[in-house]
Amino acid sequence: MDVIDKKEPRDVRLATGSAPAGRGIEADLIAVLVAVTAGEPRVLTIQDSRALPSGPFEMSHRSLQSGLRAWVERQTHHPLGYVEQLYTFADRDRAGSGPPAISISYLGLTHELPAQGEYEASWRSWYAYFPWEDHRIGTPAILETYLLPKLKAWAQNAPDQALQLARQQRIAITFGADGRKWNEELVLQRYELLYEAGLIPEASHSAATPVPGQAMILDHRRILATGIARLRAKIKYHPVVFELMPETFTLLQLQRCVEALAGRLVHKQNFRRLIEQQELVEETGEMSQDTGGRPAKLFRFRREVLAERAVVGTKLPLSRT
């Protein structure tokens, strides 16, 4: 068992001004822990939903991952299941005040359990932080009426025409403007563009009226954007979505989970055909009565598929309507 240091995690220390002076580079472990509950993608947070669970790597931790698990369980009382390393950030200008730090982030998939602990742990929809990312019922109004006009004004204010054109092209590509298609995987690129334009509170040069979307301390919303992008890409080539499903489920529940993560709807018949062709699930022989209508067949994930397709990969592409 890990021996957990009594030291506060870096985000708490910086927020309270208790970070020690003269320290060397620290390694912070940060968790993007995701669940899908009632068709909504949710992330586990602390500090009144302003931060992700995190803490420094200590010599007492056997490994980076064991240190992460120790901090998450201490701060939220939520055990970790599936975890993979996400990305390592080392941007000094994005780390806030205090000693320089390397942020080593992890993506975890789980089922939502009540969050507890002294750090105000709670679950929150990730669309509360990125409201422009949810396209399940069409293009969000915030894009056309608020966000794109501000970005285009920022592009027009570039000091020369070449930079204006470059900014306009980036806006079109990342936000699906000017006839371009929306790419759900460009979550991080959209966040970074908003940061560069000074339209979010995390940017030191932020405008007085930033775009809607809950801010997070330090670089935590950037790390969350990275986790969303990774997961949106991964559900297309690996059956990782089943880590978020209960032991048995209906095909409609599976479809709603994929749609929640992608922020896009899928074509029902094509989606089911793909699932059948990939042989990802098998019938349990039981029926679900909790459908609000006709009973539906219950399925389970065929975990043998992980061994069967370890080399060639398992496709789970999104099918557009």
DSSP code string of 30-51: EEEEEEEETTEEEEEEBTTTTB
Nearest to 9 by CA among 57, 65, 73, 66: 57
Q: Which has more confidence, 238 or 8?
A: 238
- pLDDT value at residue 2: 33
Instruction: Mean pLDDT check: name the lowest of 66-70, 191-195, 232-236, 241-245.
Output: 66-70
What's the CATH superfamily of 10-128? Nucleoside Triphosphate Pyrophosphohydrolase (3.90.79.10)
- pLDDT value at residue 182: 96
Give domain limits for the chain. Answer: 10-128, 145-213, 236-308
Sole residue written with tokens 């390694």:
27
Helix, coil or strand: residue 88: strand
**What is the largest distance, in Å, between two alpha-carbon atoms of the chain?**
66
CA 136 centroid distance within chain: 17
Instruction: Give the HSE-up count for residue 94: Cα atoms under 13 Å, Cβ half-sphere.
Output: 15
Confidence band of 92 (pLDDT split at 50, 70, 90):
low
pLDDT at 40 over 90: yes
Digit-coded pLDDT (tens) for 203-215: 865 555 678 899 9
Digit-coded pLDDT (tens) for 261-311: 999 999 999 999 988 888 899 999 999 877 666 788 999 999 887 776 654
Percent of all residues in the chain with a pLDDT value above 90, rounded to a whole number: 59
Residue type for position 65 = Q
Query: Which helix (H) or strand (E) element contains residue 231?
Result: helix 220-234
Residue type for position 263 = G
Domain 236-308's class?
Answer: mainly alpha
Q: Which has more confidence, 79 or 156?
A: 156
What residues are paired with 102 via a beta bridge? 27
Mean pLDDT over each residue of the chain, to the nearest integer:
85
Confidence band of 13 (pLDDT split at 50, 70, 90):
very low
Query: Which helix (H) or strand (E) element contains residue 284?
Result: strand 281-288
Q: For residues 191 and 173, what is the distance between their CA atoms, to the nearest angstrom?
A: 13
